[in-house]
Amino acid sequence: MRSLTQFIAALSGALFAGAALYVSLVEHPARLSCGTRIAATEWVPSYKRAAVMQASLAIASFLAGVAAWWLGGGLRWLVGAVLIGLAVPYTLIVVKPTNDQLLDPARDPASAETRVLLERWGKLHAVRSGLSLLATLLYLDGWIR
């Protein structure tokens, strides 16, 4: 049972980290290079699609990581679970105000303020990428040992 929870934690954590890193390193910089209006217009459907997937992966990885620790997997599994689990409250408390402003239908997608919000969102999202990468590395280290 412990092996199964470790596999689920590591897989869902790695999928989250891979998606988050892709957004931080590739998608968001590419979207910003297209100009503010296009970036803001593309951000909305991209965000809506990614939010459900990433929240599900973070929660699955957190729960499986805690279960792996509970079943005797070692402290790395608990620390990894806490790190990736932090992505959820971080998103709801820190990132959500920016998301809400970007999702406002009255927002001018070409404004300088929209550009600032998109750039802020990229920096905030990078924190989620880092948390998930650290969690995944801890999971993999725990698995190898």
According to the model, what pLDDT value does residue 57 have? 97
- What does the pLDDT profile of the chain (145 residues) look like in tens digits? 989 999 999 999 999 999 999 999 999 999 999 999 999 999 999 999 999 999 999 999 999 999 999 999 999 999 999 999 999 999 999 999 999 999 999 999 999 999 999 999 999 999 999 999 999 999 998 777 6
The conformational region for residue 35 under phi > 0 = left, psi -120 to 50 = alpha, else beta, is: left
Domain map of the chain by residue range?
2-144
The conformational region for residue 24 under phi > 0 = left, psi -120 to 50 = alpha, else beta, is: alpha
* Alpha carbons 122 and 82: distance in angstroms, whole number: 22
Q: Work out the burial of residue 106: count CB atoms within 10 Å of its CB; fewer than 13 is exposed, 13-18 middle, 19 or more buried.
A: exposed
Contact at 8 Å (CB) between 98 and 121?
yes
